[in-house]
Amino acid sequence: MGISSGFVKRLNQKRPKVVTGAATLEVNRSHHYTGGVANLALPASAQVGDLMTILGMGAGVYTITQAAGQQIRHIAGNTTAGVAGSLTAGTALDVVEFECVVGGPSTIWKTYNVIGTFVVA
């Protein structure tokens, strides 16, 4: 299963952002993660319908971290709300797409088109 053509079109075909280490993710952007083990923070805020994707392309796994009030809904279960919650890729090549389902500073993101196994915390 790959990235849907509808998803790419909805991102207005922006060039992917290459991320090589710890960073804050951007809404409506594809991120190619090429670094070692690092944390990728959810955006501080988002609007319902905003999208993101992360393609693992490096030597290390990435962990998606959250701010206070944020949460990720994943098929394997929901992350713990707030800074204690996270979603970690199982391998360096895992891929995940997100859509914001609750906007504002307490965003809730829903995963879909997941390739790989992610650890929910």
Place of tokens 């307490």: 106
pLDDT of residue 106: 93
| Cβ(66)–Cβ(79) below 8 Å | yes
Q: Which residues, including other chains, have CB under 8 Å from residue 9's CB and lie 6 or more apart?
A: none
The helix/strand/coil state of 9 is helix
Q: Going residue by residue through the chain, which has 121 residues, state the pLDDT in tens, using 9 for 90 and above.
A: 444 545 544 555 578 899 999 999 999 999 999 999 999 999 999 999 999 999 999 878 999 999 999 999 999 999 999 999 999 999 999 999 999 999 988 999 999 999 999 999 9
Domains, the chain, ranges and CATH?
5-117 (2.60.120)
Q: Which residues, including other chains, have CB under 8 Å from residue 84's CB and lie 6 or more apart?
A: 121
pLDDT of residue 24: 97
How do beta strands 77-78 and 71-74 pair? antiparallel
